Chains A and B, each alone.
Chain A
């Protein structure tokens, strides 16, 4: 099955800094999504991005499907950006989502 790897596993930044989170996947996928889990456990969908680039405010994401990776950019980090960021991909053969282990981001004031 597809393997999904996220890096770095942990990231600590000062407020105002920029960051890049990476998601590598081992095979072609139909669907790639980025999620943010806040410290209270709520998972919020950030982007559905099987290919190309999307932007939403201070966040943007780029997926290069041919090279099997996706990047999530966070600019001008705020303390509310803290939490865990997950990427998930959908296998071609079935509808199951395969999840990365996440990147834990801590933004210090």
Chain B
């Protein structure tokens, strides 16, 4: 079956612009979470969605937002981009219920210039 699909894979934006990243989870997975990873750093949790509702949220400013659609696809948006937003943005999905394996997409590489 198809894995987690993220688009676009690579993008370059200028400061002040906004960006929208998309994530299609594995079929049957209703939980989608987003992470930011800056060069040489670990994974910073952004938010998790389940059944179109934000279930958990990390410690990021309000410029970072997301949503989930009824087909479980998710988007995240970053407004008023800053240079420090340059990072790999990873999306992951898993089945509902505790103890389920989480699967990651290949990520979206965002460069802000």
Residues of A with Cβ closer than 8 Å to B? 30-31, 33, 35, 41-45, 48, 50, 86, 88, 90, 94-97, 99-102
Contacts and interface: CB of A to CB of B under 8 A. Distances in A.
A42 B106 contact: yes
B74 to A, nearest CB: 15
Nearest to A4: B42
A99 B43 CA distance: 7
A95 B48 contact: yes
Interface residues of B, number: 23
Given A42-B106, A42-B107, A43-B90, A97 B33 contact: yes
B103 interface: yes
B99 A31 contact: yes
8 contacts: A30-B99, A41-B88, A43-B92, A86-B42, A95-B56, A96-B48, A97-B33, A97-B45
